[in-house]
């Protein structure tokens, strides 16, 4: 089964073709980073307009790279939320038009589910439950995945997302947007023990995170002590990785998953991958981290998720009822949070 997937939830316009939930035949991503660097972040109206300009050529390119024509496509998939409404609408309306006119089923996919399935591309024998840590520019969530249908929210950030913290600290350090990769490169040359930044909420009996205090601590440190940028980057990155790893390991102890999944843009961070892997080793729980090429937003992850959720496919006129949902939740909250 060949699924052509479309992802346009934020500032990447992406299309991919995925066969049987495993083989990525093409994965085309057009990024708007250059444009948003000038404003130091994403301006939603600009993002939506650029999505509109690029989506057609990106879809055509995904077919070309996979060496397939439309006759070989069995279904369409699209990110229906969460994300920026204007950006999401471009992907959703394009997918609806294509599905209806070509008489193909359309599978709506939650963007965060995509980040989780990006970790599961190589999974052959499904061994539920998995515990997923999604760390991106907009989200920081711990999700228990008990089946392809059942996702339960176990913890989330109370304020900034982990990627947002990287981007805000990057701004304080005079780095360009998005700052994650640059902070990580600077940190490699710095001392992660140089500055004792806080690891928030560790004494609380829940699996939630908080990163806004860390950002304020970085601001205070920069304005009062003029430390080296390398040491700030290294100490900040270590504080984020520690906070994420400690809470994730606690949740893993509670929910006893067969593996922990690490997905989302921040999952490209080498220190985070290493810290989490080592911390889980004590519990003998393996880490399935997303391949770095599938960490930041792309459509292959939507095509992977769509195959396993194809029972949600909309057929015929049903496809016209699909709407973009900027706040689409992946999971309902767990009834009790215990540590
Ligand atoms: O998943 P993603 O592409 O978009 C959202 O759905 O938000 O994540 C983008 C985020 C940005 O905040 C970026 O700074 C961060 O991922 N990021 C990183 C790294 N690469 C990207 N953060 C830390 N280390 C990295 N190597
Ligand atoms: Zn994302």
Span 245-287, pLDDT tens digits: 999 999 999 999 999 999 999 999 999 999 999 999 999 999 9
Contacts of residue 278, Cβ cutoff 8 Å, sequence gap at least 6: none
Span from the CA of 97 to the centroid of ligand 1 (angstroms): 31
pLDDT at 336: 44
Give the residue, out of 79, 110, 136, 267, with the most ligand 1 atoms within 8 A of its beta carbon, to mutate for a pocket test: 136
Q: Given ligand 1 and candidates 32, 117, 137, which is best to mutate, with the most ligand atoms within 8 Å of its CB?
A: 137
140 three-state secondary structure: strand
Q: Whose CA is nearest to atom 1 of ligand 1?
A: 265
Task: Answer whether residue 338 shows pLDDT above 60.
Answer: no
User: Is 339 a residue whose pLDDT tops 60?
Assistant: no
| Helix, coil or strand: residue 216 | helix
C-alpha 148 chain-centroid distance: 18
* Dihedral class, residue 280 (left if φ above 0, else alpha if ψ from -120 to 50, else beta): alpha
Q: Does residue 303 have its Cβ closer than 6 Å to ligand 1?
A: no
Strands (E), 67-192: 75-81, 106-110, 130-135, 140-145, 151-156
Q: Is the peptide bond before 82 cis (omega within 30 degrees of 0)?
A: yes
Q: Give the model's pLDDT for residue 335.
A: 55
179-237 tens-digit pLDDT: 999 999 999 999 999 999 999 989 899 999 999 999 999 999 999 999 999 999 999 99
Q: Whose CA is nearest to atom 7 of ligand 1?
A: 137
Does the structure show a pLDDT above 70 at 124? yes
The number of the ligand 1 atom at minimal distance from the alpha carbon of 264 is 1
Nearest to 186 by CA among 225, 241, 228, 239: 228
SS3 161: coil
Query: Which residues make beta-bridge pairs with 31?
Result: 12
Q: What interhelical angle do 180-187 and 162-172 show, nearest 10?
A: 70
Closest ligand 1 atom to 178 CA: 14
Rounded CA-CA distance 180/293 in Å is 15
Confidence of residue 115 (pLDDT cuts 50, 70, 90): very high
Distances (CA, A) of 236 to 41, 178, 227, 228, 277: 20, 16, 12, 12, 19
- 222 CB neighbour count, 10 Å cutoff: 16
What would the two tokens of residue 97 be?
A: 């038009």
- C-alpha–C-alpha distance, residues 109 and 265, integer Å: 18
Residue 202: partners with Cβ closer than 8 Å, 6 or more residues away:
243, 246, 247
143: Cα within 13 Å, side-chain hemisphere: 28
Q: How confident is the model at residue 26 (pLDDT cuts 50, 70, 90)?
A: very high
Cα 78 to the center of its chain, rounded Å: 15
Q: What is the Å distance from ligand 1's center to 242 Cα? A: 17
Asked if the model's pLDDT at residue 8 lies above 80, the reply is yes
Position 10 pLDDT exceeds 80: yes
C-beta 184 within 6 A of ligand 1: yes
Evaluate whether 183 touches 170 at the Cβ level (below 8 Å).
yes
Band of residue 31 on the pLDDT scale cut at 50, 70, 90? confident
Which tens digit of pLDDT belongs to each residue from 126-160? 999 999 999 999 999 999 999 999 999 999 999 99
> For ligand 1, atom 23, which residue shows the shortest CA distance?
180
- Percent with pLDDT over 90 in the chain: 86
Is 243 a residue whose pLDDT tops 60?
yes
Q: In what order do the strands lie in the sheet with 140-145?
A: 287-289, 259-263, 130-135, 140-145, 151-156, 332-333
Q: Which residues of 45-72 are buried (b: 16+ CB within 10 A; e: fewer)?
A: ebbbbbbbebbeebbeebbeebebeeee
The whole-model pTM stands at 0.94
The ligand 1 atom nearest the CA atom of 83? 6
pLDDT at 106 over 50: yes
* Phi-psi map region of 201: left, alpha, beta (phi>0 left; psi -120 to 50 alpha): left
* C-beta 261 within 6 A of ligand 1: no
Answer whether 190's CB lies under 8 Å from 235's CB: yes
* pLDDT for 122 beyond 50: yes
Confidence of residue 44 (pLDDT cuts 50, 70, 90): confident
- Poorest-confidence range of 170-174, 186-190, 333-337? 333-337
Structure tokens at 309: 């959720």
Q: Can you tell me which atom of ligand 1 is nearest the CA of 137?
A: 7
166 in ligand 1 pocket by Cβ < 6 Å? yes
* 36: pLDDT strictly greater than 80: no
Distance 138 CA to ligand 1 centre (A): 9
Handedness of CA 187, 189, 195, 201 (dihedral sign): positive
The 3-state DSSP class for residue 335 equals coil
Res 188: pLDDT = 97
Q: Is it the case that residue 86 has pLDDT exceeding 90?
A: yes
pLDDT tens-place string over residues 64-76: 999 999 999 999 9
25 C-alpha to ligand 1 centroid (Å): 24
296 C-beta closer than 6 A to ligand 1? yes
Residue 34 has pLDDT above 90, yes or no: no
Are residues 111 and 84 in contact, defined by beta-carbon separation less than 8 angstroms?
no
Please report how many Cα atoms fall inside a 13 Å half-sphere around the Cα of residue 200, on the Cβ side. Answer: 18
Ligand 1 pocket, 294 CB below 6 A? no
């Amino acid at each position: 089964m060949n699924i052509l997937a479309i992802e346009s939830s934020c500032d990447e316009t992406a299309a991919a073709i995925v066969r049987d939930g495993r083989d990525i035949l093409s994965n085309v991503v057009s990024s708007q980073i250059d444009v948003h660097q000038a404003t130091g972040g994403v301006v939603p109206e600009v993002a939506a307009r650029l999505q509109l300009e690029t989506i057609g050529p990106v879809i055509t390119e995904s077919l070309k790279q996979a060496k397939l024509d439309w006759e070989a496509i069995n279904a369409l998939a699209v990110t229906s939320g969460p994300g920026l409404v204007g950006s999401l609408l471009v992907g959703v309306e394009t997918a609806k038009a294509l599905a209806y006119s070509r008489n193909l089923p359309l599978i709506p996919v939650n963007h965060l589910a995509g980040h989780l399935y990006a970790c599961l591309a190589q999974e052959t024998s499904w061994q539920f439950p998995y515990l997923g840590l999604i760390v991106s520019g907009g989200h920081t969530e711990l999700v228990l995945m008990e089946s392809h249908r059942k996702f339960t929210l176990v913890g989330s950030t109370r304020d900034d997302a982990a990627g947002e913290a990287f981007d805000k600290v990057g701004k304080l350090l005079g780095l360009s947007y998005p700052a994650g990769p640059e902070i990580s490169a600077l940190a490699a040359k710095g001392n992660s023990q140089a500055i004792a930044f806080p690891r928030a909420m560790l004494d609380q009996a829940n699996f939630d995170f908080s990163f806004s205090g860390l950002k304020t601590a970085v601001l205070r440190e920069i304005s009062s002590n003029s430390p080296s940028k390398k040491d700030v980057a290294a100490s900040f990155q270590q504080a984020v990785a520690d906070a994420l790893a400690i809470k994730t390991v606690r949740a893993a102890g509670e929910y006893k998953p067969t593996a922990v999944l690490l997905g989302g843009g921040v999952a490209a961070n080498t220190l985070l991958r290493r810290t989490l892997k080592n911390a889980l080793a004590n519990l003998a729980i393996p880490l399935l981290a997303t391949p770095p090429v599938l960490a930041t937003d792309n459509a292959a992850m939507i095509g992977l998720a769509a195959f396993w959720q194809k029972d949600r496919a909309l057929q015929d006129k049903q496809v016209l009822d699909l709407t973009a949902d900027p706040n689409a939740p992946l999971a309902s909250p767990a009834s009790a949070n215990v540590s």
